[in-house]
Amino acid sequence: MIVLMILHPQAASITWLVVMKHKLNLNGPGSRLLGTAMLMIGFSILIHGLAWLLERFSLRVAWLKSLALIWTVAGAILLLVLAVLLVIEALQDRAMDMSYRKQRSHPMPIGNGYYECQYCGNRMVHKGDRICSVCDRELD
């Protein structure tokens, strides 16, 4: 899909809209994911600090270091997942924007024989109008 988007963006945008039934939107979940990953990494730094402190008192802290490593790896994996999702969302938004721009010159039917101009929102466009009477843009 990503390769198709790079090689043939228009075909990819249509394919993308068919494949994606739900739009990926990271506005809310993205910040929560980032916060969780930062907490995990912060927690692992805290555990590392604790292990370092306990080592000063000649205590065995190998298990604590392992725990810190697990938290670091988990946080890093979460950050990686977030990065991949952000790339997917950016590609999806680009495909949707291209699809919208491609459709802009086609007036949208709104009932009662009227159409809406996709450039300016003029709702008094008639079937067969070649130019919008408000914004003077060409219509298909």
Cα gap 7→102, rounded to integer Å: 18
34 or 120: CB nearest Zn ion:
120
Nearer to Zn ion, 44 or 118 (CB): 118
Helix (H, G, I), strand (E, B) or coil at 126: strand
Smallest distance, Zn ion to C-beta of residue 25, A: 29
Residue with smaller CB distance to Zn ion, 65 or 137: 137
Question: What minimum distance in Å lies between the beta carbon of 124 and Zn ion?
Answer: 10
Residues 95, 9 contacting (CB under 8 angstroms) = yes
Residue 22 or 127: which CB sits closer to Zn ion?
Answer: 127
Q: What is the amino acid identity at position 1? A: M
Can you state the angle between helices 62-103 and 29-56, rounded to 10 degrees? 160
Helix or strand run (H / E) with residue 125: strand 125-126
Q: How far is the CB of 126 from Zn ion (least distance, A)?
A: 13
Q: Which residues of the chain form contacts with Zn ion (CB under 5 A)?
A: 117, 119-120, 122, 132, 134-135
